[in-house]
A and B are shown apart, each in its own frame.
Chain A
């Protein structure tokens, strides 16, 4: 009986852990720098994206990976090959937090079990083009993964 009860509790915890939920609360906006060479969410007119990760595994730690951004769309005629994409973030969870500066590489951090009920991540994207940006709309994309 005790084994069944323990198994049921463990199964419940594990079931909830299987369903890592990621939600974007604030979509990001990119603002143009004064010198015209950067579109970034921490420039004037830009907005960082805020997302929450919940339903994480309470029994074991969870690794959250944030990819370097990719340029998804841009105006016709723009030389997209010369653009450098970077992402930076800060993350907060129960009793602790972490942050990373802008990087062109994938970045990850680990949240201990039990403390990871909800992880709030503030994410910035930055696109750099030394030749400037052509008039039009641009979108960048970062993939956030929990595993």
Chain B
């Protein structure tokens, strides 16, 4: 009987044992934005539009480097400064943009609404952003600045 028990013990299959081995990776910021060329706005012939697409105006150049899946967000443009004597509130501030190279498929006509688009792995690539301020009442003499906040997340 003892021999039988011994034989049974020896013949028992070895059970399977398992352990989960976990690896952790942290991806830090994989996106870099820079503005090597600020925009310049000039007045239209009819005096109602101040924009970077007008004659002698210059769109702002934004460079993007992305090492991962990121989302670019362009906030609605705002009128930041204007001369004393100008009555703000009646103008419309708009932006448009177009990309080149790896962003050649990215563009948008003038809009006042926030815009987003996705990027993957992207070597340094330019996005050209134009701003314009439209006021049917025209503009008083002085300096005006607009701002479009761009974030990468």
Contacts and interface: CB of A to CB of B under 8 A. Distances in A.
Interface of A: 3-4, 6-7, 10-11, 14, 17-24, 27-32, 35-37, 39, 41, 46, 49, 51, 57, 59-60, 62, 69, 72, 75, 77-79, 123, 125, 127, 129, 131-147
B6 A7 contact: yes
A138 B2 contact: no
A22 B19 contact: yes
B25 A31 contact: yes
A11 B67 contact: no
Contact of A131 (B18, B20, B120): B120
Given A20-B15, A138-B26, 8 more contacts: A18-B14, A21-B17, A24-B21, A28-B24, A41-B23, A57-B14, A79-B69, A135-B153
Given A18-B14, A145-B16, A133 B27 contact: yes
B16 A135 contact: no
Nearest to B71: A77
11 contacts: A3-B6, A4-B2, A7-B9, A10-B6, A36-B68, A127-B25, A129-B69, A132-B121, A134-B69, A135-B27, A137-B26
A31 B28 CA distance: 11
Nearest to B28: A135
The residue in A24, A36, A75 that gathers the most chain B C-beta atoms within 10 A of its C-beta is A36
B68 A134 contact: yes
Contacts of A36: 30, 67-68, 121
Enumerate the 7 nearest inter-chain pairs by beta-carbon distance, A residue then B residue, closest first: A30-B25, A7-B6, A132-B68, A28-B23, A36-B67, A147-B16, A22-B19
A101 to B, nearest CB: 17
A136 B121 CA distance: 16
A32 B67 contact: yes
A84 to B, nearest CB: 15
A14 B19 contact: no
Contacts of A32: 25, 27, 30, 67
B24 A30 contact: yes
B2 A137 contact: no
A134 B119 CA distance: 10
B29 interface: yes
Contacts of B52: none
A135 B21 contact: no
A5 to B, nearest CB: 11
A103 to B, nearest CB: 15
Contact of A20 (B9, B14, B29, B69): B14
